[in-house]
Structure 1
């Protein structure tokens, strides 16, 4: 689980400060305020660690198999108007339930440009407990290595350049002696944390009428939910201890949202062809014929149960096309599944209903404020600014920005005033 994130000079962020992340974290704010940039920083690192070329420093566009976003160039990532040094940085802390190896650590990396205008690591810092390892870029692409603040003598050159932003080179590991395995384990833990990110964006594919089953479980649902049906078919049809887990989980939440009684994977007459069927009020409907809200929430529910335990699930606007009650129930989904399956949710949302239900869950004592972090992102003079919402044990927010969700009480007062005036005029 990621427990802290910090960005400097990254897109619209001059400095986020330390952003504490919980098992559930909600990011709220106006359009184009910088919420997506927070999410994209982690996705940029994920597509970098998955890059086939281990010598790459930062994979801005990814390749066909690993691309999550095309970030363009160094100039499009660097904050406009950033002063010297022209660098941006990404940093995070993490914790893992590891029986062996590294269970907690920190990553911080500063990126700049080379003379050839490619992106290069300028300062990489990996830490665990009371140990810190650094790779610092010097002149002409040479790197120096430091351990716990002390630069290793005679260790400098381009062959000590970091790999995929998170790992020290084989030459560096060799020169570290007995610390070599420590930094390797730390890099591996960071890699696993990033690899286990599951991302679902706001633009999701609508389901098809029927599917061919490949008799295998996909490793990821896809950023647009394209492999949702494959995940559901694998859950229903592959024998094993977890058979039906994803389908049953999806059915449970469709029912709690009051949009369906259950979901079924149903074989058609043709061999290896299946359809997804929604049951409601005794009727059976192909998922391509149900409302768009049901169709687009299926990937959200499926990834909650298909992601491996210990994963971080990043969602953008999971509430799209859902009615208010269903939006509210999403808050319960995040809290319950995070607790039951040990997964983390980082959610960008505009839903007042989701937010209000999270307040209620805190007030009920079903989730602690520190386990349901909420932030408001806004523009301040052209740069993004982060506001940690101060939520007490009763779910009350002490520093809510005016006007974001409108003024419900003000609207009610205005309606009452107008009603009173009209009645008064009618009685005259």
Structure 2
């Protein structure tokens, strides 16, 4: 398990240390640094899967495409771009990168690395002795926010033995992993608590039912081709349909469930916007599902804007499905016109952190406003509606005192509030 990510001089950050839990939620404003805080981990993962030639680190690959050195190096701070990853045993690995004067080049240069025990600083990608932390970084599963929802014939990966359960950044390999693992037995802690079936096929269906009651999924190998045919149905008696005919929600959730089911114990699963295209009740259920699998041993990192998903995580904590101390929430505040955090932030270089110990018992408004001053959006809007109604009623009273009431045939009538212009 990774417990901490520290980066210097990366994109919008001068320096940031991000504590991770068994489940970590990155939330906050748009363009505030949520994705940027986790991209260094993805950059290292894709480098370790196919070691770069010499000391050159390409900035674009299968997990992230970051552009040129000028796009990733924070020009406001002098020094090297540094990434340090620490595990739960406090062992850490460090990489420092330099860039040539030409910031338009789409690469960085490894200046030095430092690994546990070895001590020395030399420009080599992996330690001499096997290292579980390095393996954990390499085997990260990342599912991005933009997926391929309507492709019924999903391709097989070029090298499926490289990373277990890697459904692809856009979920395109979910069908392959479902076919490959369909009849494998699911570990006890990952099973749905109310479904006694033990196979991956059955358990994916059981958890899918939490999001879409009655829904099912099936995938079969297309003979002679390296493709898997994926179909859904929305009820036990309904016909099987291709993804394009059941909407986005099912096909967006499918790769999430497959990745969670196939991941190895301790493997890291990073998912961007797992709430996408889900009804609010299903968003909450998704939060609960992610918490369940985090408690079962998958380290889950979530980037989300959904209050409902956060509420689902909180419910899981309240119901003792996941200890509160295993949850970390980071709220990223909006930046001003000068690119800096607003005054009043806890630390100008770090995201505001919501204490994990409070997640199970505080009100959502208290959770966020305690450190960020940002209330729950739904409560904020409800308050605005009430205030707006009160303002309209005050306007009505003012107008009634400024002009005669409308005279009915036998009585004086009050103007209807909704008749106001």
TM over 0.5: same fold?
yes
- Greater alpha carbon shift after TM alignment, 259-268 vs 2-11: 259-268
Alignment of 1:10-159 (within 5 A): 10-16=10-16, 18-53=17-52, 55-62=54-61, 67-82=62-77, 84-85=78-79, 87-95=80-88, 105-113=91-99, 119-127=108-116, 131=117, 133-135=119-121
Flag the 1:416–1:369 CA change in 2: closer, same or farther, 3 A. Answer: farther
How far is 1:364 from its partner?
3.4
Gaps of 5+ in 1: 96-102, 136-160, 169-183
Asked whether the 8 Å contact 1:8–1:14 carries over to 2, the reply is yes
If the length of structure 1 is used for normalisation, what is the TM-score? 0.74
Given that 1:57 and 1:162 are in contact with CA atoms closer than 8 Å, whether structure 2 keeps it comes out as no
> What are the superposed Cα offsets for residues 2-34 of structure 1, whole Å, 9 maximum, x if unpaired?
101111111111111x32100100000111111
Equivalent residue in structure 2 for 1:250, among 201, 204, 209: 204
Note if 1:6 corresponds to 2:6.
yes
Greater strand content: 1
Q: Which residue of 1 aligns with 2:408?
A: none
Contact map agreement 2:22 2:294 (CA 8 A) in 1: yes
Contact kept, 8 Å, 1:364 with 1:394, in 2: the verdict is no
For residues 369-409 of structure 1, give each alpha carbon's deviation from its aligned partner in whole angstroms, at most 9, with x where no partner exists: 32111111124441464010135241441324325625155
Moved more, 390-399 or 18-27: 390-399
Among 338, 349, 352, the alignment partner of 1:387 is: 352
Which of 291, 298, 310 aligns to 2:266? It is 310
What is the aligned partner in structure 1 of residue 140 from structure 2?
Answer: 197
Separation in 2 of the partners of 1:202 and 1:275?
Answer: 20
**Residues 364 and 122 of structure 1: is their aligned pair in 2 closer, same or farther, counting only changes over 3 Å?**
same
Output the CA distance in 1 between the equivalents of 2:101 and 2:156: 50
Matching of residues 179-328 of structure 1 within 5 Å? 184-185=129-130, 188-210=131-153, 219=164, 220-236=166-182, 240-241=184-185, 245-265=199-219, 274-280=229-235, 282-288=237-243, 289-328=245-284
How many Å separate the matches in 1 of 2:169 and 2:302? 14
Cα distance in 2 for partners of 1:212, 1:41 equals 28
Distance 1:75-1:134 versus aligned 2 partners, 3 A rule: farther
Please give the secondary structure, in 1, of the residue aligned with 2:285.
helix
Label 1:244 to 1:217 Cα distance change in 2 as closer, same or farther (>3 A). Answer: farther
Cα 1:232–1:418 change in 2 (3 A) is: farther
Tell me if the contact between 2:232 and 2:240 (Cα under 8 Å) persists in the aligned partners. Answer: yes
**Residue deviations 1:98-148 (CA, integer Å, cap 9, x gap):** xxxxx6621122222357887333343323xxx56131xxxxxxxxxxxxx
Alignment-derived partner of residue 325 in structure 2: 370
Q: Deviations over 1:347-375 (max 9, x none)?
A: 00011111122233333333333211111
Residue-pair matches, total: 364
Between the aligned partners of 1:419 and 1:264, the Cα distance in structure 2 is 54
Deviations 1:247-296 (A, max 9, x none): 22321222111354332336899999744232415213314210111111
SS of equivalent to 1:280: coil
**Counterparts in 2 of 1:244 and 1:233: CA distance versus 1, 3 Å:** farther
Question: Aligned-pair distance for 1:197?
Answer: 0.3
Q: Calculate the aligned-residue CA RMSD, in Å.
A: 3.3
Q: Secondary structure at the match of 2:91?
A: strand
Paired with 2:204 and 2:10, the residues of 1 have a C-alpha distance of: 36
Instruction: Say if 2:2 and 2:85, in contact at 8 Å, map to a contact too.
Output: yes
Give the secondary-structure state (helix, strand or coil) at the position aligned to 2:115.
Answer: strand
The answer to whether the 8 A contact 1:360-1:395 is kept is no
Question: What is residue 360 of structure 1 aligned with on the other side?
Answer: 315
Does the residue aligned with 2:239 lie in a helix, a strand or coil?
Answer: strand
Maintained 8 Å contact 2:175/2:228: no
Provide structure 2 residue ranges, at least 5 long, that are not aligned to the other structure: 187-196, 342-349, 401-412, 416-421
Partners of 1:274 and 1:69 in 2: CA distance? 27
Instruction: Note closer, same or farther for the CA distance 1:92–1:213 as it changes in structure 2 (3 Å cut).
Output: closer
